[in-house]
A and B are shown apart, each in its own frame.
Chain A
């Protein structure tokens, strides 16, 4: 894994680890070192034990789940559990995972593209209404998405379009925060001289964006993509309020409905746990493999 992480990120990694620290810095007291490492160790346990528990629990059979030590392996049943989960209810779990990937993957891709184009235009062109658009978008950042869920439901029901793929997908594409980030990044990473040079070479504005500027903005775009992906993947209220047909559910809503049925159907508990474990793997992989991009982009939101 570390191989994918190592290459020096282009943006904010002037000193990514402690390597660039001045060599002659006076030694800190042993006590502060120990205290610091204890805090780090305890925090690591706090953050990782729940996930470890989830992993261990998904390797256990239903009988052993309650009866064996909760933080260590019993019989290793992970793959039988997965097979049972996938087979349950005509494979509805796989359908949910695919839905989530479709909602979040496609939604974040389109959302990033539109946010990047808009933010780029706001940063690089002067035109009347520019400040107005930016301020409205900035206001949009402060309007919580959950406050929109109910009115969106009312609008979609006017067109009999609730309980459809589009009713969850379309609203997810809009990311005002993405525009805000894209504007900051475009202003910082795309020099005006470069655009002038491209113009002198006769390249059109749109072509310049897709060939030159897009490349310069890549770390920013990966950041926007990832965080919108997470926002859509985690979104709960909109699908909860929009969807009735469980074959349209994203995995979060699916697992939620299963979990609320555990008292009536006890055998479903194993599926909730193994399903929860499997559902977090794609996001963890995405974050680990793309971290050299997004880490550089993360701090930029706070630049003023």
Chain B
């Protein structure tokens, strides 16, 4: 705010009258803003504040059987979070998951979007819908479905799944990655495809006249132009990956390879059920902060590249 004012007006006083202009339609603005703002404050800001507050408390007892009392404990819960190996193992697991699954998923989505946008493919309407249908399947349901498809005896691909155990401790992470990919490829493809549709046709006609092939057009013109859309899908995918919960939780009933602290959110859930609410709250805060920083950093990083 202040930087905008100083840069916009070297001769300070000029900017002042602008701020004195009375706000018109105050009541209408309040009518529009207040319902959302109130709910946002109650169910977004308050929980964040509450989680931070809760994470600063520790439970103390008078002797072994005394009544537990919550007292202020400073950052001691955070020390416990940073010492908690299961939690960090789960963070490492989702980071590994994201490093592989997000590029694969977005790569496939980009290729399919470019193919849909190219003149090479017929029946676009059908493909567009077919690829998007999995998005209508909730993560829980998709995980249940794939759980059966992976099973060694009930799967339609039992010839394969009875030989290769897709639910073993080493493979189950990638089996879950496949479920997530299956659900979200079509959604990401559509976001990129809509961005492609919004590009002006004239550029491509000019490129064709210059003798560019479809590959060259896709690589040097289309992909750079839809980069903002790809950034958006990447940010949502990063957020989604760190929050992984439903799919691994469902897989716990198919295999014992998924521990109760398999992902950070599962660790939060397991810790809060102990119950160790303060430690769970501290984990939530660390996780939310990490998510926020990562997606924000990614956003800034890609914007810097665009700025030249």
A residues at B contact (CB < 8 Å): 2, 5, 12-18, 20-22, 25-26, 28, 32-33, 36-37, 39-40, 43-44, 46-51, 53-54, 57, 65-66, 69-71, 113-115, 117-118, 120-122, 125-128, 131-133, 136-137, 139-140, 142-148, 150-155, 170-171, 173-174, 176, 179, 204-206, 209, 230, 233-234, 236-237, 240-241, 252-253, 255-256, 259-260, 262-263, 272-273, 276, 279-280, 283-284, 286-288, 291, 295-296, 298-304
Cβ contacts under 8 Å, B228 to chain A: 302-304
Q: In the bound complex, what is the Cα–Cα distance between A173 and B208 (angstroms)?
A: 48
Residue B67 CB within 8 A of the other chain: no
In the assembled complex, the CB of A105 is this many whole angstroms from the nearest CB of chain B, namely: 15
Cβ contacts under 8 Å, A66 to chain B: 153-154
> Is B120 touching A33 in the complex (CB atoms < 8 A)?
yes
> Is B296 touching A17 in the complex (CB atoms < 8 A)?
no
Closest to B195 in A: A299
Q: Which of A133, A263, A302 contacts B229 (CB 8 A)?
A: A302
> Is A299 touching B141 in the complex (CB atoms < 8 A)?
no
Cβ contacts under 8 Å, A230 to chain B: 135-136
Cβ contacts under 8 Å, B194 to chain A: 12, 295-296, 298-300
In the assembled complex, the CB of B292 is this many whole angstroms from the nearest CB of chain A, namely: 5
Residue B36 CB within 8 A of the other chain: yes
Cβ contacts under 8 Å, B56 to chain A: none
What's the dominant secondary structure at chain A's contact region? helix
> Is A237 touching B265 in the complex (CB atoms < 8 A)?
yes
Restricting to B249-308, which residues have a CB under 8 Å from any CB of A?
Answer: 249-250, 252-253, 265, 268-269, 272, 277, 280-281, 284-285, 287-288, 291-292, 295-296
Residue B131 CB within 8 A of the other chain: yes
Residue B144 CB within 8 A of the other chain: yes
Binds A, one of B78-86, B96-104, B111-119: B111-119
Range of interface residues on B (Cβ < 8 Å): 35 or more
Cβ contacts under 8 Å, B89 to chain A: none
> Is A302 touching B47 in the complex (CB atoms < 8 A)?
no
B residues at A contact (CB < 8 Å): 1, 19, 23-26, 28-29, 31-33, 35-37, 39-40, 42-48, 50-51, 54, 108, 111-112, 115, 118-125, 127, 129-142, 144-149, 153-156, 158, 182, 185-186, 190-191, 193-195, 197-198, 201, 205, 208, 214, 226, 228-229, 231-232, 235, 239, 242-243, 245-246, 249-250, 252-253, 265, 268-269, 272, 277, 280-281, 284-285, 287-288, 291-292, 295-296
The 8 closest A-B pairs by CB, nearest first: A299-B194, A205-B28, A70-B156, A121-B32, A151-B47, A147-B288, A302-B229, A118-B36
In the assembled complex, the CB of A25 is this many whole angstroms from the nearest CB of chain B, namely: 6
> Is A39 touching B37 in the complex (CB atoms < 8 A)?
no
